[in-house]
Structure 1
Amino acid sequence: MKKDEELLVALRRIIRAIDMRSRQLNKQVGMTGPQLLILHKVGKQSGVMVREIAEDINLSSATVTSILDRMEDNNLVRRIRRTQDKRKVGVFLTEAGEKAFETAPMPFQEHFTNRFNSLEKWEQSQMVATLQRIASMMDAQDVDASPMLELGSILDR
């Protein structure tokens, strides 16, 4: 096999592994990876603002707002305007959201992060640089992405 084919096979394996884990997660807890990340953020910091969530998970505020809309429809969170400054909206877990937070698993990337952090710093840097270069070669450097391992549109579900 040629080197470019070996690389494409490795990328496809990564994509398939993420897809399989995403489907498993959605089946187990009925949430997407982005919803799970937001659930964990709000569960740990009740009243957090949308902007802070967006910065923490590296998505736009508009994207987080769309995800929160679905979570609110599913009675997992509620948004409350601050009385002192009506422009600021805090996000809180509902009772159902608190139950989901208590039982929800960490997203797939926790396993990956633990293994990545066990590598030497030089190896971590090499891997990051290589994947950033691949993203650039695929014209994907400006794609809105969060540090979550999940496939599909972040606005789905």
Structure 2
Amino acid sequence: MARHEDVLIALRQIIRATDLYSRKLSKVSGLTSPQLLIMQAISAHGEITMGDLANEVSLSQATITTILDRLEKRELVERKRGEQDKRRVYAHLTPAGDDIIDQAPTPLQDEFIERFDRLEDWEQSLILSSLQRVAAMMNAGDIDASPVLDLGAIDRAQPAVDMSSRREREANSFSKTDQK
């Protein structure tokens, strides 16, 4: 087998593992990875402002607001204005949100981070530079991303499950960019 085929297989395995985790998370908790990440951050702080939450999970405040809107509709999160400073809005979990957090599987990136942290510094640097190079080779170096192993848009309602139509949409968008 050619070396490039081994690389493509490894990339596909990473994508597949991420997809399988997203499906499992959705089935068990009805959440997406970003929703779980946000709920875990809120749980860790008890209550947190939108700005602090955005910084904590490396997402924009607009994305946080969109995700919190969905979580609020499901009565998993509540937002309230500050007692002393009415301009500040705090998010906290509802009892139903606490229950979901208790039942949800460990985020995929947590397991990865735990294993990555056990590697020697040189090995971590090698992996990082290799993945940055791969991202650049796939014209993905400038794509905005958060440190969440998940497929699809960060602020979507549920994980993408129809991968064939997704691939078709992506192929069409790539061909349109190539024509420009």
TM-score category (smaller protein):
over 0.9
* Percent identical: 48
Alignment TM-score, normalising by the size of structure 1:
0.92
Asked if the contact 1:78–1:93 (Cα under 8 Å) also holds between the matched residues in 2, the reply is: yes
1:30-78 deviation line (CA, Å, top 9, x unaligned) = 1111111111111110221111121121111111111111000110001
Larger mean Cα displacement after TM superposition, 96-105 or 127-136 = 96-105
Q: Which amino acid aligns with 1:72?
A: E
Asked if the contact 2:25–2:104 (Cα under 8 Å) also holds between the matched residues in 1, the reply is: no
Distance 1:95 1:153 in 2: 27
Alignment TM-score, normalising by the size of structure 2:
0.81
Choose 1 or 2 for highest CA Rg: 2
Tell me the residue number matched to 1:59: 59
Tell me the residue number matched to 2:35: 35
Tell me the residue number matched to 1:137: 137
Tell me the residue number matched to 1:22: 22
Distance 1:111 1:88 in 2: 34
Q: Which amino acid aligns with 1:91?
A: A
Cα deviation, residue 7, structure 1: 1.5
Q: Could you list the runs of 5+ residues in structure 1 that have no partner in the other structure?
A: none
Cα deviation, residue 83, structure 1: 3.2
Query: Runs of 4 or more off by more than 6 Å in structure 1?
Result: none
Q: Could you list the runs of 5+ residues in structure 2 that have no partner in the other structure?
A: 158-180
2:91 maps to 1:79: no
Asked if the contact 1:38–1:53 (Cα under 8 Å) also holds between the matched residues in 2, the reply is: yes
- Give the total of aligned pairs: 157
Counterpart of 1:86 in 2: which secondary structure?
A: coil
Cα deviation, residue 11, structure 1: 0.7
